[in-house]
Every structure is written in C-alpha cells, then in structure tokens.
C-alpha cells in the first residue's frame, strides 16, 4: 500500500533530533510520498536539501500567510517568490505551498499583502503547471473566490475548516482536492468531509508536528494511516481500497504515473 502525506512540516525543530527515525517509520508504515511544505526562506531551502537526502521527501515551497514578525527573520517576499519560481522552472518542485490566506492568527491589516503574495504564488504554479497547497483558515470564501477568479485549477485545500457545503461545491464544481488530517476522528467537519466529498477528491495529510491525533503529542507522517482507517470505515471500503483511492487521487493531482502493484 502507498500512503501519502501531502502536507507536513518536517523542517520544524521538533524533528531536528530524530528526523531519520521519523522518515524510516513512515517508510516502514508504507508511505511512498511525504510532501514537505515550506513556510519562508529558511524552511524552503532546508526542504530542497531534505529532498536530495531522502527519496520519499517531495518538495513544495511556499510562503505562509501567517508571517509574524517575531517568528521569522525579515525577508523580501518578492525575492522569495523569484527564488521559488526559479526552483519551479528547474523542475525541482512537486507543488507550490504552503500558501494562502489566514484570518485566524493575523488581522485585517495584513489581508492585502497576504492576497498579493498568494496570487503571485498561484501565478508561479500555473506558469510551471504545478498544483497549489492552500491554507485558508477563516478566509475560506475569499480563497475560493480568488482561486476561481484567477482560473487556478490544480488545488489542494489543506485542513479546510470552512463550511462542508462549500468544500462539496468546490470539489464537485471546481475539481479541488481536500487533504484530511490525522485527527479526523475527533473533528466533525473532517468526518463529514470524509463522508460526503467525491471519493476522487480526498487526500491525506498530517500537518505534522501539529494536529496530532492525540492532543499535545507530536504528530508525524506515518499517522496518515489513521485517516485512511477512518475513511475506509466511513465509506465502507477496505483499508487497501481507501489507501489506493487516495494514492490515485494524489497521482492525478500532481501528475505522476499511477503505479499499481
């Protein structure tokens, strides 16, 4: 079985001491692709090195909409977008992300700047025929509006917390994908999404180290197996069918050939 984690942050300091083990455990669990998502210049560069070192790691570079001045060194978003575009042009990226909009952790005064960066990153993705992995917390409607308005078609909405009806509409009418975290069992929205979204639009993620299935613990990529278990039960599939379905969905989104065993 090929499990997929389309959204994780293995560059986080909580993985610094045992990254080899975390990745070995994920491979042992059956993960074929771990898409590590960048947030700012430092993580973006670390991810490129990580992808050289571990075959299972696939790079997605981006700029996180919640760039709080006290959490990262100041940087030029324009220069970073140029850097990301250069990597994309060299065929080094699987996706653009993390990118998007946030209205939960930061205020309205940041919205215009967030939208500018998001739009630029979407343009880079479209120019190089890459999917975008999108953060949309408390800005779900606006994210949808922008993506549709600008004709962005290869989209994964990660950890989507908007209305389930909106997710259904975006999946059915726009063909957008939704990656469901490993804590889906304790979240009603994710349960309903697993139950009602078209089967061919569902993906799995962890957002590790965050969103652990057990509150307060460190999450890690191998936990995508929990979402698959849950997905299988809700949709009356075997574990293997659920896993295959997500694997096929992932290959379709990122345009990889589907390898059947």
Q: How far is the CB of 10 from Zn ion (least distance, A)?
A: 11
- Which residues lie closer than 8 Å to 108 by C-beta, 6 or more apart? none
163-182 CB burial, b ≥16 within 10 A, e <16:
ebebbbebbeeeebbbbbbb
Pick the stretch among 22-30, 101-109, 193-201, 202-210 that binds Zn ion (CB under 5 A): 202-210
The answer to whether residues 63 and 77 touch, using CB atoms and an 8 Å cutoff, is yes
Q: Which residue is nearest to Zn ion (CB)?
A: 207
Residue 207, interface with Zn ion (CB under 5 A)?
Answer: yes
Closest CB to Zn ion among residues 31, 242: 31
Question: Nearest to residue 246, comparing CAs of 79, 4, 7, 71?
Answer: 4
Among positions 26-85, residues that touch Zn ion (CB under 5 A) are: none
- Which residues lie closer than 8 Å to 177 by C-beta, 6 or more apart? 155, 156, 157, 171, 201, 202, 203, 249, 253
Closest CB to Zn ion among residues 37, 87: 37
Closest CB to Zn ion among residues 1, 161: 161
Closest CB to Zn ion among residues 213, 241: 213
Token duo for residue 134: 């999108």
CA distances from 103 to 32, 109, 139, 149, 181 (A): 33, 10, 6, 20, 20
Q: How far is the CB of 9 from Zn ion (least distance, A)?
A: 6
Binding mask 170-199 for Zn ion (x = CB under 5 A): ------------------------------
Q: How far is the CB of 259 from Zn ion (least distance, A)?
A: 27
What span, in angstroms and rounded, lies between the C-alpha atoms of 174 and 41?
31
Token duo for residue 135: 């953060």
Q: How far is the CB of 39 from Zn ion (least distance, A)?
A: 8
Size of the site for Zn ion (CB under 5 A): 2
Closest CB to Zn ion among residues 51, 242: 51
Q: How far is the CB of 18 from Zn ion (least distance, A)?
A: 20
Closest CB to Zn ion among residues 135, 201: 135
Backbone angles phi, psi at 224, to 5 degrees: -60, -25
Closest CB to Zn ion among residues 12, 142: 12
The answer to whether residues 152 and 126 touch, using CB atoms and an 8 Å cutoff, is yes
Q: How far is the CB of 244 from Zn ion (least distance, A)?
A: 25
Question: Nearest to residue 35, comparing CAs of 17, 12, 18, 10?
Answer: 10
Binding mask 79-118 for Zn ion (x = CB under 5 A): -------------------x--------------------
Interface ranges with Zn ion (CB under 5 A): 98, 207
């Amino acid at each position: 079985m090929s499990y997929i984690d389309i959204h994780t942050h293995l560059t986080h300091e909580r993985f610094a001491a045992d990254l080899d083990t975390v990745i070995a455990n994920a491979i042992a669990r059956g993960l074929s692709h771990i898409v590590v998502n960048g947030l700012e210049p430092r993580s973006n560069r670390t991810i490129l090195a990580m992808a050289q070192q571990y075959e299972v790691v696939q790079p997605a570079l981006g700029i996180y909409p919640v760039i709080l001045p006290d959490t990262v060194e100041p940087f030029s978003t324009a220069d970073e977008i140029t850097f990301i575009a250069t990597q994309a042009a060299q065929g080094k990226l699987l996706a653009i992300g993390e990118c998007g909009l946030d209205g939960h952790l930061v205020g309205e005064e940041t919205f215009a700047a967030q939208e500018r960066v998001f739009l630029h990153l979407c343009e880079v993705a479209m120019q190089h025929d890459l999917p975008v992995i999108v953060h949309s917390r408390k800005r779900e409607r606006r994210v949808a509006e922008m993506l549709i308005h600008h004709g962005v078609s290869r989209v994964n909405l990660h950890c989507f917390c908007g209305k389930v009806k909106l997710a259904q509409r975006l999946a059915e009418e726009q063909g957008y994908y939704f990656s469901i975290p490993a804590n889906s069992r304790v979240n009603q929205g994710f349960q309903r999404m697993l139950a009602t979204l078209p089967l061919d639009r569902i993906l799995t993620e962890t957002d590790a180290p965050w969103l652990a299935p057990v509150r307060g613990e460190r999450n890690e990529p191998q936990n995508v197996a929990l979402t698959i278990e849950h997905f299988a039960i809700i949709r009356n599939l075997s574990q293997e069918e659920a896993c295959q379905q997500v694997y096929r969905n992932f290959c379709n989104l990122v345009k990889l050939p589907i390898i059947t065993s």
